[in-house]
A and B are shown apart, each in its own frame.
Chain A
Amino acid sequence: MADFLLKASNLKKSFGGVNATDNVTLEVVEGECHAVIGPNGAGKTTLISLLNGALRADSGSINFNGRRINSVPVHKRCHLGLARSFQITSVLMDMQVIANVALAIQAQQGHSFRFWTHAGRDRRLSEPALDFLAQVGLAGRAFEPARSLSHGERRQLEIAMALATNPKLLLLDEPMAGMGPDESQVMIETLAQLKRTKTMLLVEHDMDAVFTLADRISVLVYGRIIATGTPDEIRGDDAVKRAYLGDEAA
């Protein structure tokens, strides 16, 4: 396990007196799907935000693709290859579905100080955008406003947008949040497809999803990683059972 795509070392972040992230060290290896699980309030979203740059850590360091990125702002981390989906659905509601993805592609094609040509008729945007939408099963809804999508479809759109930034690492913040069983199943299949080509850090509550998708799992409790290992190792870990799985089993 030498090739870390992402390595976070001794990350700390506190809000007032609460240590949301408490000395977290986490490594994501190229090609793996690494899941982070933990009970509510364990600091999972905070961790994702630290990694993508939406929040700055109080201390510790983050290395991505051989580069220290502690002080790199969000939009630049995105260009380095760190893409994020949001726990609370965050798409461009007022715009067409295809425009959501096209904007993510456009960001990869250099600056957008282009004032004249009609972006909606630019095939360099629309063709790849439709490809990404097809990957998440939304190609048929491309020209509807994002607002008209169901919750599950918006989650799928999130993934398409993250993919369209051409990431080396996908940070997925509870992609199944708020989904019904059918929608979750669709999402699991989508992610299983993506897993073949993308490295992922998956934060998720849905244990079916985690144990289906993850190569390795880290367990986060009260801001600390209490265990990291393969799904089997995590199932058998006593500390994890007590802290987390035990609650559900009981």
Chain B
Amino acid sequence: MTDAPLQPIASPAKSERKGIVRTASGIAALALLLGLSLAAHYSGNGFYLDLATRLTILAIAAVSLNLVLGFGGMISFGHAAYLGIGAYAVGIPAYYDINDGFLQFSLAIGVSAVFALLTGAISLRTKGVYFIMITMAFAQMAFFTMISLDEYGGDDGLTIYLRSEFPALDMEDNLTLFLVCYGSLLVVLFLVNRLVNSRFGMVIQGSKSNDVRMGAIGYNTYVYRLTAYVIAGAICGYAGALYANFSSFISPDTMAWSRSGELMFMVILGGAGTLFGPLFGTAVFLLLEETLSRITIHWNLIFGVLLILSVLFMKGGISGLIGGKERDDG
């Protein structure tokens, strides 16, 4: 008989241990980030608090990209568009002296979601390189739209004089802003973790692994992938709104294709399809940027080499190095 003897089910101990190591590293990294940022603030090193705030915001953006790129296998090369949309959703109202935070952030999330829905509905009908190109094309459309809007500064950008106003939160205070960003990162990580392990998340991951097969077992994966695409866009729009608060100056460069590339770099370097990968990737990216740019203005060149090396020799990125080689998607 072919029936397996009723042996106890092989315990998932190995992959579970790997998962625990990885989760522990992620939590340690988050704790370290918080500790260092507070230390920087109270020791008067505002520069490092700024760096930490930027890291946190970009990490949220990278986590959202990871949802589609890492878990869903949708290689979006236009994710910075949502950073830009979110930023302008704060900047444009602020330009008209509308500083209500709830309105600005709702706008950032809402417009990003609608943009993702419209462009995703078209983009997701394509596969592979075509998907990469079409997502990039849509982001470039957003980019050039903002360049052409002289009222909002065109390519000179837009200065934001007042940060978003929330009751009981003084966003003008840099520490408060950092803590808001940090709290947002925690919430986003938690939500994405629930999402990728839910039934919905399994469909997304299955579609990445073998879309044809998913069709044959009864899924119209398109609607699920589109939903994930919209969720990712909305989260990134939120990150964009934080970014506008942080930088006080926004320009179309926020949504340039090179920005999208940087986000991809963060995700891939950190470990696509792992929960904390984008956080690691963003941290390494920013630290490299800070140190290398002090050494040479051609730091991008070194960056490129590093990316190639990490793709060739670090399958699974930084997360892949933590707790063993193989990824556990289950």
Binding site for B on A (CB under 8 A): 52, 54, 73-75, 78-79, 83-84, 86, 90-96, 98-99, 102-104, 106-108, 112-120, 122, 130, 134-145, 161-162, 164-165, 186, 189-190, 193
Q: Quick one: closest B residue to A78, CB to CB?
A: B218
Contacts of B199 in A (CB 8 A): 106, 112, 114, 117, 119, 122
B48 within 8 A of A: no
Q: How many A-B residue pairs have CB under 8 A?
A: 145
Partner of B216 from the list A74, A96, A102 (CB cut-off 8 Å) is A74
Contact, CB under 8 Å: A90 / B198: no
Chain B residues with Cβ under 8 A from A78's Cβ?
215-218
Contact between A142 and B213, CB atoms less than 8 A apart = no
Q: Does B292 contact A (CB under 8 A)?
A: no
A118/B219 in contact, CB under 8 A? no
Contact with B10, one of A75, A141, A190 (Cβ below 8 angstroms): A141
Q: Can you name the residue of chain B whose Cβ is closest to the Cβ of A101?
A: B217
Q: Knowing that A83-B216, A98-B330 are A-B contacts, what are 11 other residue pairs whose CB atoms are under 8 Å apart, sorted by A's residue number? A: A78-B217, A92-B214, A95-B205, A95-B206, A95-B330, A99-B330, A103-B217, A107-B218, A112-B224, A119-B197, A189-B2
Bound-complex Cα distance A103 to B215 (A): 11
CB-CB contacts below 8 Å: B185-230 with A: 194-195, 197-203, 205-206, 208-210, 212-220, 224, 227
Alpha-carbon distance between A135 and B214 when the two chains are bound, in angstroms? 21
Q: B12 interface residue, CB < 8 Å from A?
A: yes
Q: What residues on A are CB-neighbors of B216 within 8 Å?
A: 52, 54, 74-75, 78, 83-84, 86, 90
Task: Offer 14 A-B interface pairs, CB within 8 angstroms, sorted by A.
Answer: A74-B216, A90-B216, A92-B214, A99-B206, A99-B330, A103-B217, A103-B219, A112-B203, A115-B198, A117-B198, A120-B330, A139-B9, A140-B7, A143-B9
Choose from A86, A122, A143 the contact partner of B12 (Cβ within 8 Å).
A143
| Number of residues on chain B facing chain A (CB within 8 A) | 40
Asked if B170 CB lies within 8 Å of chain A CBs, one says: no
Q: In the assembled complex, how far is the CB of residue B224 from the closest CB belonging to chain A, in whole angstroms?
A: 7
CA distance A56 to B147 in the complex (A): 46
State in angstroms the CA–CA spacing of A93 and B329 once bound together.
Answer: 10
Residues of B within 8 A of A102 (CB): 202
Q: How far is the CA of A192 from the CA of B206 in the complex (A)?
A: 30
Q: How far is the CA of A84 from the CA of B217 in the complex (A)?
A: 8
B194 and A134 form a contact (CB under 8 A): no
Indicate if B11 sits at the interface (CB-CB under 8 A): yes
Residues of B whose CB lies within 8 Å of any CB of A are: 1-4, 7, 9-12, 15, 194-195, 197-203, 205-206, 208-210, 212-220, 224, 227, 326-330
- Chain A residue contacts of B213, Cβ below 8 A: 86, 90-92, 161
Complex Cα distance A122/B197, Å?
Answer: 11
Name B5's closest neighbour in chain A (CB-CB).
A140
Closest to A135 in B: B3
Contact of A93 with B210 at beta-carbon distance under 8 Å, contacts A103-B202, A165-B217 already known = yes
Given known contacts A99-B330, A114-B198, A134-B4, A75 and B9 CB-to-CB distance under 8 angstroms: no
Contact B4 A114 (CB under 8 A): no
3 smallest CB-CB distances across A and B, nearest first, come from A96-B330, A107-B218, A78-B218
Is A103 a contact of B330 with CB atoms below 8 Å? no
CB distance from A96 to the nearest CB of B (A): 4
Which residues of A sit under 8 angstroms from B210, Cβ to Cβ? 90-93
Q: Once the chains bind, are A137 and B3 in contact (CB under 8 Å)? A: yes
Question: Which residues on the B side are within 8 Å of A108 (C-beta)?
Answer: 218
How distant is A135 from chain B, measured CB to nearest CB, in Å? 7
- Looking at the complex, which one of A90, A116, A130, A144 makes contact with B212 (CB distance below 8 Å)? A90
A140 touches B218 (CB 8 A): no
Taking a contact as CB atoms closer than 8 A, the residue among A94, A106, A107, A186 that contacts B209 in the complex is: A94
Partner of B327, one of A94, A106, A142: A94
The reply to whether B2 and A136 form a contact with Cβ atoms under 8 Å apart is yes
Instruction: Tell me if B3 and A103 are in contact (CB < 8 A).
Output: no
Query: Closest CB of chain A to B318's CB: distance in Å?
Result: 19
Instruction: Decide: A144 and B10 in contact? CB cutoff 8 A.
Output: yes
Contact B10 A145 (CB under 8 A): no
Q: B200–A115 contact, CB under 8 A?
A: yes
Of A91, A114, A119, A134, most B-chain CB atoms within 10 Å: A119
Say whether A119 contacts B201, CB under 8 Å. yes
Cβ A118 vs Cβ B198 within 8 A? yes
CB-nearest residue of chain B relative to A141?
A: B10
With A93-B210, A140-B4, A142-B10 given, is the CB distance from A165 to B218 under 8 Å? Answer: yes
Given contacts A90-B210, A138-B4, whether A116 and B194 have CB atoms under 8 Å apart is yes
Check B2 against A95 for contact (C-beta < 8 Å).
no
Residues of A close to B200: CB separation below 8 A: 112-115
Instruction: Assess whether B224 is in contact with A94, with CB atoms less than 8 Å apart.
Output: no
Closest to A113 in B: B200
Q: How far is the CA of A52 from the CA of B202 in the complex (A)?
A: 24
Residues of A within 8 A of B326 (CB): 145
User: A104's closest neighbor in chain B, by CB?
Assistant: B217
Shortest distance between the CB of A61 and any CB in chain B (Å): 22
Chain B CB within 10 A, most for which of A107, A161, A165, A193: A107
A190: B residues at CB distance < 8 A: 2
Bound state CA distance, A34 and B281, in angstroms? 54
A95 touches B209 (CB 8 A): yes
- Which residue of chain A is the closest to B221 with respect to CB atoms? A75
